[in-house]
Amino acid sequence: MTTAVKSIRHIVEANLKTYLTAQTELAGVAIYTGDSADDNVLPKIITVCDSARAPGDLPEGLGNYLCGVRLTIYSNADDTTLSAHRSRCAVLAGIMQDVASFKAVFTAEGNASLYDVTIGSEDEGVDTRSWATSFGFNVLTVITN
């Protein structure tokens, strides 16, 4: 019998997609994971877990991870004003502050537990045809099974 190897990075990305897709405030915004092969449409959010490392204050080797997560929200500048894009960004930032609801997704999935989420940065990029804002978050987790 072979034990499946679990990737905390894939777990975090999948749970983020589940969590964000369920948010009525983001209706009409497509949610993708970083490794998605789906054709992308705008507006969209791409969830990427860039890093996973043992947290400095928790024992190593026990399944605890501090994950560096990047959520990038893209809007089409041809049909969305910068003001509307920034409003969408504010909604996303607010949703990510609801740690209890995000924890519930981890609990329901049963593959990891979520301890905390903290925002690290918000960076905006402007192009002639699109708006893009990238949020950096630290997500503290532990693999449970």
Q: Is residue 59 part of a domain?
A: yes
Q: Is residue 3 part of a domain?
A: no
Query: 79-122: per-residue pLDDT in tens?
Result: 889 899 999 999 999 999 999 999 999 999 999 999 999 999 99
Range of the domain at 61: 8-143
First-to-last alpha carbon distance for the chain, in angstroms, is 16
Structural contact between residues 68 and 136, judged by C-beta atoms closer than 8 angstroms:
yes
Average pLDDT over residues 43-56: 94
As for how many domains the chain has, the answer is 1
The closest alpha carbon to 31, from 99, 78, 83, 88, belongs to 88
Helices 99-109, 8-21: axis angle to 10 degrees equals 120
CATH code, 97: 3.30.70.1700
Query: 11-29: per-residue pLDDT in tens?
Result: 999 999 999 999 999 999 9
Strands 130-143 and 64-76: antiparallel
Q: Is residue 38 part of a domain?
A: yes
> What is the model's pTM?
0.90
Residue 123's alpha-carbon distances to 2, 22, 72, 136, in angstroms, are 43, 25, 9, 9
